[in-house]
């Protein structure tokens, strides 16, 4: 797919099917994610967790218990972006760039995605999720996540958002 079509296809799709993604689809998405630029080239500060199957079901049930809803929109795969480092601002930027690469890669192969920030605090503070379920190593923090799945609904509008632009010459 040409880049412009990929960008136009990249939308948050909150209606996802809980059908497992194919291994080659996940591998393609990870291949693109690993090419995201990060601050000062410190890739060793990042880790990606691929959560699916029974572990994802347990996590989704935990979200329902805590928040009253499944924050993954029924997706079949969750990619959690972890960062270890002292500079919180750079950590957030690095994670967001990696997550956007994940979303663009998913759009490129017609897989739905949603960038998730709402579950960061829950995942970092909940000992069951953090230590028992996902075994997040000391020093790493959940920065964001992306839920992925086949689209249940293709009715997503193509919108050019009204972002103010100033040009200085």
User: Which CATH number characterizes residue 144's domain?
Assistant: 3.40.109.10
* Residue 29: per-residue pLDDT: 98
Residue 156 lies in a domain: no
Residue 110 lies in a domain: yes
102 within 8 A of 26, measured Cβ to Cβ? no
* Residue 65: per-residue pLDDT: 93
129 within 8 A of 49, measured Cβ to Cβ? no
Could you tell me the pLDDT band of residue 95, with boundaries at 50, 70 and 90?
very high
Residue 167 lies in a domain: no
Residue 160 lies in a domain: no
Domain range enclosing 16: 3-151
Report the residue count for the chain.
169
pLDDT tens by residue, 60-86: 999 999 989 888 998 999 999 999 988
For the chain, give the percent of residues with pLDDT over 90.
66
> Which pTM value belongs to this model?
0.91
Mean pLDDT of the chain: 91
Number of domains comprising the chain: 1
Least confident of 86-95, 103-112, 120-129, 149-158: 149-158
For the residues 139-148, what does the mean pLDDT come to? 96
Residue 7 lies in a domain: yes
* Residue 155: per-residue pLDDT: 62
Cα torsion 53, 50, 136, 67: sign: negative
* Residue 30: per-residue pLDDT: 98
pLDDT tens by residue, 16-63: 888 999 999 999 999 999 999 998 888 999 999 999 999 999 999 999
Say how far apart CA 134 and CA 145 lie, in whole Å. Answer: 13
């Amino acid at each position: 797919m040409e880049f412009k079509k990929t960008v136009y296809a990249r939308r948050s799709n909150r209606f996802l099917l809980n059908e497992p993604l194919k291994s080659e689809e996940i591998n393609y998405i990870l291949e693109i994610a690993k090419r995201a630029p990060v601050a000062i080239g410190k890739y060793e500060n990042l880790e990606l967790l691929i959560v699916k199957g029974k572990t994802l079901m347990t996590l989704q049930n935990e979200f329902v218990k805590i928040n009253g809803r499944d924050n993954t929109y029924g997706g079949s795969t969750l990619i959690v972006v972890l960062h270890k480092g002292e500079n919180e601002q750079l950590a957030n930027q690095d994670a967001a760039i990696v997550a956007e690469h994940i979303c663009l890669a998913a759009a490129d192969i017609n897989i739905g995605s949603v960038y998730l920030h709402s579950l960061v605090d829950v995942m970092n503070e909940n000992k069951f999720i953090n230590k028992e379920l996902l075994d997040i190593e000391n020093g790493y923090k959940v920065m964001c996540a992306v839920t992925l799945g086949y689209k249940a609904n293709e009715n997503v509008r193509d919108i050019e958002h009204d972002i103010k632009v100033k040009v200085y010459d």
